[in-house]
Amino acid sequence: MLLVSLWLGGLGVPGTAEAAHKRSGVKATERARKAHRRHVAHRRGGKPIRLEVTKVRPGDTLEALAYRFCTSPDAIARVNGLDPTDTIAVRDALQPGLSIVVPIRTRAALGMRKWVALRSGEGVDALHPERSYGRPEVVLHLTKTFARMATLYPDAHPALVGSLSKPGGGRIGHHKSHRAGRDVDIGYYWKHGQPEQWGRPRVDEIDYERVWVLIDLLQRTGHVGAIYMAPGIQTRLHAWASKHGVEKSRLDRMFQYPGHRPGALIRHEPGHADHFHVRFECPDDVIELSS
């Protein structure tokens, strides 16, 4: 059963699923349409639902705040009168204790409200069950994608998955992210001799075909915001995809390599030699599907 529960934060009326149930179907449809229009307006940079003042924690950057509150560094820069094109300011640590205004655009900004565990199964071994929790739609996309990989490569070793998040989110260990159920660490596929546990392949031991196919499937969900990968591995993956007929226009959208395209899906990030990190976008929270 798909139940549409509306969140009318903009009007200050939190609609419950039960209430939505009682309304007539026509009204609910109309409300859903309005909510959707509002959501589209948010996406196009329309008005945020509200502004929140937050204190900068040690090590916070505009990027870190944007992640925590499901918005963009640009949006935060703008409401605080900072220059969004100043990339140094975007990546620099802010002064701890400073008050920053954050535009809240979606309910996801207010935390990880629902979560489910990614379990080992078709095409996937989840290595850390205690921190394998993600937002339901994220886990659903991952489960489907890994199952598809198992169908395409029935004899291959399943993907090894490291951390997602703890139930309900929050800080885990040294991770700067993995706090909101939108992040997942996936070990590279090895051509031969994939270990049972986390291992670091040499760049020539990586099965670029399967890494590409997995990333391709994830990208086609339309819900992946970024993939972080070690530079040397991105370069080789790009070469593999290029050699195997992936169109240049798609490569340009997908890869930061060879230039520095800030909006590219796959980004250079040191520390990702034994896995790549997939971040899902903030979901469409205005209309939330529950079942």
Note the residues at the interface with Zn ion (CB under 5 A).
Answer: 185, 277
- Angle formed by the axes of helices 231-243 and 208-220, to 10°? 90
We find the least distance from the C-beta atom of residue 83 to Zn ion, in angstroms, to be 29
We find the least distance from the C-beta atom of residue 257 to Zn ion, in angstroms, to be 20
We find the least distance from the C-beta atom of residue 227 to Zn ion, in angstroms, to be 11
Strands laid side by side in the 3-8 sheet: 13-14, 3-8, 287-290
Radius of gyration for the chain, computed over Cα atoms and rounded to the nearest angstrom: 20
Q: Which is nearer to Zn ion, 14 or 129 (by Cβ)? A: 129
We find the least distance from the C-beta atom of residue 28 to Zn ion, in angstroms, to be 39
Q: Which is nearer to Zn ion, 186 or 237 (by Cβ)? A: 186
Cis preceding-peptide flag for 270 (omega within 30 of 0): no
Q: What gap in Å lies between CA 242 and CA 68, rounded to an integer?
A: 35
Q: Which is nearer to Zn ion, 210 or 277 (by Cβ)? A: 277
E-strand ranges in the chain read 3-8, 13-14, 50-55, 99-104, 116-117, 124-126, 133-134, 159-161, 183-187, 224-229, 266-268, 275-280, 287-290
- Angle formed by the axes of helices 136-152 and 208-220, to 10°? 140
Q: What gap in Å lies between CA 118 and CA 140, rounded to an integer?
A: 8
Residue number closest to Zn ion, CB atom: 277
Q: Which is nearer to Zn ion, 9 or 134 (by Cβ)? A: 134
Q: Which is nearer to Zn ion, 172 or 287 (by Cβ)? A: 172
Q: What gap in Å lies between CA 42 and CA 30, rounded to an integer?
A: 19
Q: Which is nearer to Zn ion, 42 or 277 (by Cβ)? A: 277
We find the least distance from the C-beta atom of residue 164 to Zn ion, in angstroms, to be 9
We find the least distance from the C-beta atom of residue 271 to Zn ion, in angstroms, to be 9
We find the least distance from the C-beta atom of residue 185 to Zn ion, in angstroms, to be 4
**Residue 116 phi, psi (nearest 5):** -135, 160
Q: What gap in Å lies between CA 111 and CA 182, rounded to an integer?
A: 11
Q: Which is nearer to Zn ion, 238 or 277 (by Cβ)? A: 277
Q: What gap in Å lies between CA 214 and CA 224, rounded to an integer?
A: 12
Q: What gap in Å lies between CA 147 and CA 158, rounded to an integer?
A: 9
Q: What gap in Å lies between CA 70 and CA 86, rounded to an integer?
A: 20
Q: What gap in Å lies between CA 160 and CA 178, rounded to an integer?
A: 17
Q: Which is nearer to Zn ion, 177 or 194 (by Cβ)? A: 177
We find the least distance from the C-beta atom of residue 188 to Zn ion, in angstroms, to be 13
